[in-house]
Amino acid sequence: VSLRKTGKFLCFYPLESVSRVRDLIGRADILLGEQKYADGLLIVQEMINLVPDSPAGYSYRGFIHERMQEPAEAMQDYRKSIRLGYPPITAYYNLGVMYEQRRRYQEAFAVYQEGLELETRFDPLKERCAEMASYFRQDDQAIRLYSELAALYPGKAIYRDRLREIKGLKGAKKPAR
């Protein structure tokens, strides 16, 4: 068994399939960049046929289904990618965004939190989780996440503004002494 390291996650591919999977991922990336989703879907399906338990394959396929306006299939693939273990962190992000688009905020928040437990350095996920924490009035978590983002991106006033807003709301709900 060979090893492919992606961030903190390790994805296992059969040794005889490693070079073929690399080739397929490269071809899929090119096709997706050219917005040739139907062709990309064929390539990614070949990768899934070659390595049926590939979280990356299902995440790629979910992305393609999403771009092809097939949300049910996309969400199913993102969930399968996560269920298989060691998924690309983007599977959490993309699934959460799709839940948000459907106003399923509790599920989106849960997916974002689960993703952040596994990978704390994916800032788009951190930002969405902070926004959901704020929405659900989990102020301490929102403050912590926005503080981290503000420290990483001192030039982005939006993070400082959100911090002030949340701290102001939090202070307003404290009882008078």
pLDDT one-digit tens code per residue, 92-104: 999 999 999 999 9
Among 162, 77, 167, 91, which residue's Cα sits nearest to residue 122? 91
- The reported pTM is 0.84
> What does pLDDT average to over the chain?
89
User: At how many degrees (to 10) do helices 123-135 and 89-101 cross?
Assistant: 40
Average pLDDT, integer, range 105-127: 96
Q: Which residue has the tokens 């929405």?
A: 135
Task: Give the confidence band of 9 by pLDDT, cuts at 50, 70, 90.
Answer: very low
Q: In whole angstroms, how far apart are CA 56 and each of 45, 51, 116?
A: 11, 10, 18
Among 57, 58, 75, 56, which residue's Cα sits nearest to residue 66? 75
Among 57, 59, 38, 60, which residue's Cα sits nearest to residue 48? 57
Q: Which residue has the tokens 């390790």?
A: 10
Task: Give the confidence band of 50 by pLDDT, cuts at 50, 70, 90.
Answer: very high
